[in-house]
């Protein structure tokens, strides 16, 4: 199967793209889940970013061949995953739902995935995959007795057991503790560095920032933005942003901040805490430290209050956006 035609310039899709969706849409009754989305994903780690209900899971299900687009074309790992068995075998999928056999041991669950992938060295590959996600293959507890984070890692091991070219994961970091998240993100980067295409969906901006620079932003079933993470995040610097400041001379510092032309709102929450709104985040970040030094105020924290996912979407797809 050839690549779908480019929607505009001949440079699209990139020649090394391993995941391409061209103008795909999908509805469930009157609900439009995905509407006219075109994306191209290259080897490395990419993030599919969107709030719950944005259409991420539906898009991943189309890309992995689980459901057919109502319109448009999908090309993954050399073919249409709905029609091309070889292309489908090059895909590893981590669904959002658990979907594991709760009475079985982790090794048995991953071994079954190896059998279904028609691997020869089933036992060896199952143990290898569990080792990648830091799970002991000789654990005797059934998967149903595992924590959410452990079950997530069993699903990732299932998806990795056949060493796929393309790995698609729907919210794989849910339920993992901070150390496990760090380890999984490190694994995803290792796979990307080996030439794999790793597409991870998330609704947490902090996770996306750690996953990699290439981001696909989905909102209300539509493509809101795609490209380098810093470029997308940079859109917020042209919009009013809120910050919480913790320092020991909050009222004095607040008075100085109000005098700054870039500060358009300031509220003293307590003797040690201020909430400000600024029209120029870069200038504010540079000036707050100087103000505190000048007035001998101990600056303990500067916390962005608008650099969350919902704020990004408000700026990207809000009224007029």
Q: What CATH number should be reported for the domain holding residue 92?
A: 3.40.50.300
Residue 317 lies in a domain: no
Do 165 and 58 share a structural domain? yes
Do 187 and 128 share a structural domain? yes
Residue 118 lies in a domain: yes
Do 184 and 72 share a structural domain? yes
> Using CA atoms, how far apart are residues 262 and 279, in angstroms rounded to an integer?
5
Mean pLDDT is lowest, of 185-194, 256-265, 280-289, for 280-289
What does the pLDDT average to over 277-293? 86
- The domain tally of the chain equals 2
Residue 109 lies in a domain: yes
Residue 3 lies in a domain: no
Do 79 and 39 share a structural domain? yes
Q: What pTM did the predictor assign?
A: 0.75
> Using CA atoms, how far apart are residues 82 and 65, in angstroms rounded to an integer?
5
From the centroid of its chain, how far is CA 189?
A: 13
- Give the containing element (helix H, strand E) for 193: helix 178-193
Residue 5: is its pLDDT beyond 70? no
Reduced to 3 states (helix: H, G, I; strand: E, B; else coil), residue 222 is: strand
Here the tokens at position 310 are 């919902």
Do 197 and 101 share a structural domain? yes
- How much is the pLDDT for 6? 47
Percentage of the residues of the chain whose pLDDT score is greater than 70 = 89
Q: Give the domain CATH number at 293.
A: 3.30.70.260
Residue 271's domain spans which residues? Answer: 241-305
Residue 271 lies in a domain: yes
Write the pLDDT tens digit of every residue in 64-95. Answer: 999 999 999 999 999 999 999 999 999 999 99
- How much is the pLDDT for 313? 60
Do 173 and 77 share a structural domain? yes
**Ranges assigned E (strand) in the chain:** 19-28, 31-41, 44-49, 71-76, 91-94, 166-170, 197-202, 214-219, 222-228, 241-247, 263-270, 273-278, 299-304
User: Residue 5 carries which DSSP code?
Assistant: P
Reduced to 3 states (helix: H, G, I; strand: E, B; else coil), residue 105 is: strand
> Using CA atoms, how far apart are residues 209 and 21, in angstroms rounded to an integer?
23
């Amino acid at each position: 199967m050839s690549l779908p035609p480019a929607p505009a310039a001949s440079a699209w899709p990139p020649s090394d793209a391993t995941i391409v969706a061209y103008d795909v849409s999908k509805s469930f009754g009157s609900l439009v889940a995905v509407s006219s989305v075109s994306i191209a994903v290259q080897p490395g780690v990419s993030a599919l970013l969107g709030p719950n209900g944005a259409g991420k899971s539906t898009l991943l299900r189309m890309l992995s061949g689980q459901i057919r687009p109502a319109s448009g074309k999908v090309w993954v790992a050399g073919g249409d995953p709905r029609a091309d068995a070889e292309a489908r075998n090059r895909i590893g999928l981590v669904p959002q739902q658990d979907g594991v056999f709760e009475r079985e041991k982790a090794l048995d669950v991953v071994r079954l995935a190896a059998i279904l992938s028609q691997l020869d060295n089933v036992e060896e590959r199952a143990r290898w995959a569990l080792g990648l996600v830091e799970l002991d293959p000789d654990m005797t507890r059934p998967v149903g007795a595992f924590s959410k984070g452990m079950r997530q890692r069993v699903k990732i091991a299932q998806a990795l057991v056949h060493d796929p070219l393309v790995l698609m994961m729907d919210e794989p970091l849910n339920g993992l503790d901070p150390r496990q998240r760090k380890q999984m993100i490190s694994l995803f980067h290792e796979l990307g560095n080996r030439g794999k295409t790793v597409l991870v969906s998330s609704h947490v901006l902090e996770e996306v920032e750690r996953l990699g620079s290439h981001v696909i932003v989905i909102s209300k079933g539509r493509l809101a933005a795609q490209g380098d993470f810093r470029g997308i995040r940079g859109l917020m610097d042209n919009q009013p942003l809120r910050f919480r400041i913790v320092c020991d001379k909050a009222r004095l510092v607040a008075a100085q901040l109000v005098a700054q032309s870039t500060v358009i709102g300031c509220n003293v929450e307590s003797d040690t805490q201020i909430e400000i709104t600024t029209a120029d985040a870069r200038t504010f970040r540079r000036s707050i430290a100087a103000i505190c030094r000048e007035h001998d105020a101990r600056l303990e924290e500067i916390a962005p209050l608008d650099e969350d996912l919902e704020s990004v979407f408000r700026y990207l797809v809000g009224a007029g956006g």
